[in-house]
Amino acid sequence: MAATLCHAAESGDVTLRIGVLQFGTVNWELDVMQANKLAQKRGLHLKVVPLASGDASTVALQGGAVDVIVSDWIWVTRQRAEGLNYSFVPYSNAVGSVMVKADSGIRSVADLKGKSLGISGGPYDKTWLLLRAYAGAKFNLDLAAALRPVYAAPPLLNELALSGQVDAALNVWHFDARLEANGMRPLVRLPELLAGLGVDKPLPMIGWVFREDWANQNREAMERFLAASAEAKGIMAKSDAEWERLKPLMRAEDKSTFVALRSGYRNGIPGCAETDAQSTAAAVFRILAETGGEKLVGRSRTLSEGTFWNGYKPPACPKN
């Protein structure tokens, strides 16, 4: 049976435990929620639980130590294929790009042939698999055989890219922003990869993840939390002053890095008109299943029903 939310004794507010990576970018949005009392005014008390890694996040959720984490819908659909009823609500469209030095001479994905590509997510990184599928479809090129992959943690990968020890880098978006601030440029971004594979709509790769039965049992509180999240994103999309306040949390080394991080986050905010994210995810899942096989997608060959929570409603578009 799903556990119900607890109540903060001192205020009567419902307490929601959010598991986050200690220095993850989701902390920025949660800080905006807290500073502007967006959760508090909705009768919610957010307890932020810092965690060491993505694996630690999923373990904490599975063990009941937290109520909500940030993860991707591929993990959710794998769990559902195993009979575990987790669900997903879109949080961000921001994902990594392939970054190269401005003077590298690499102008297209085909130019990666014979080069080294640093990859932060390992051999089954989702963007790497989509890049492989794109190279095969557009250039008839088997990238896995055509280049030399170098797997490294995000901070080390940036060092390798900036020092020229790899010819190109595929990192998570906020590390890409730091590379761009240091003069590197994107060779190809996820929307271009998707378009080359016949998917022409935005795709939220990461989102809020939780047990479906728990969320259904606590639907009102979950909907209030999602409303607070949407309001925080609205502030972050428009207010430069709010970002100035967030500067210490962002750990930006200089002004150009700060601007790149702010722009990257804003560009990743899901749009109000993205109403068919689940069908887009289903199309991308089929591509990933063909490229990554069972090691990536598990037993499921199609997106599991219920992967996207039925309580999610995209933010309304403003009226003219």
Predicted local confidence at residue 1, as pLDDT? 42
Predicted local confidence at residue 10, as pLDDT? 47
Q: Which amino acid is residue 238, in one-letter code? A: K
Q: What is the distance between the alpha carbons of residues 30 and 45, in angstroms, rounded to a whole number? A: 12
pLDDT values of the chain reduced to their tens digit, one per residue, 320 residues: 445 566 544 455 799 999 999 888 999 999 999 999 999 999 999 999 999 888 899 999 999 999 999 999 989 998 998 899 999 999 999 888 999 999 999 999 999 999 999 999 888 888 999 999 999 999 999 999 999 999 999 999 999 999 999 999 999 999 999 999 999 999 999 999 999 999 988 888 899 999 999 999 999 999 999 999 999 999 999 999 999 999 999 999 899 999 999 999 999 998 865 557 888 999 998 998 888 888 777 777 889 999 999 877 766 655 65
Predicted local confidence at residue 248, as pLDDT? 94
Predicted local confidence at residue 9, as pLDDT? 42
Q: What is the distance between the alpha carbons of residues 206 and 88, in angstroms, rounded to a whole number? A: 8
Predicted local confidence at residue 97, as pLDDT? 93
Predicted local confidence at residue 107, as pLDDT? 95
Contact (Cβ atoms closer than 8 angstroms) between residue 143 and residue 135: yes
Q: What is the distance between the alpha carbons of residues 308 and 159, in angstroms, rounded to a whole number? A: 37
Predicted local confidence at residue 290, as pLDDT? 86
Domains of the chain with CATH codes: 6-93+203-297 (3.40.190.10), 98-196 (3.40.190.10)
The encoded tokens of residue 123 equal 């051999």
Please give the C-alpha separations between residue 86 and each of 5, 39, 130, 145, 307, in angstroms, as whole numbers.
Answer: 17, 23, 24, 36, 7
Closest CA to 174 of 253, 75, 66: 253
Exposure on the CB side of residue 19, measured as CA atoms within 13 A: 23
Q: What is the distance between the alpha carbons of residues 281 and 283, in angstroms, rounded to a whole number? A: 5
Provide the sign of the torsion angle of the four alpha carbons 114, 116, 117, 119, taken in this order. positive
Predicted local confidence at residue 5, as pLDDT? 62
Is residue 45 within a helix (H) or strand (E), and if so which, with residue range? strand 44-51
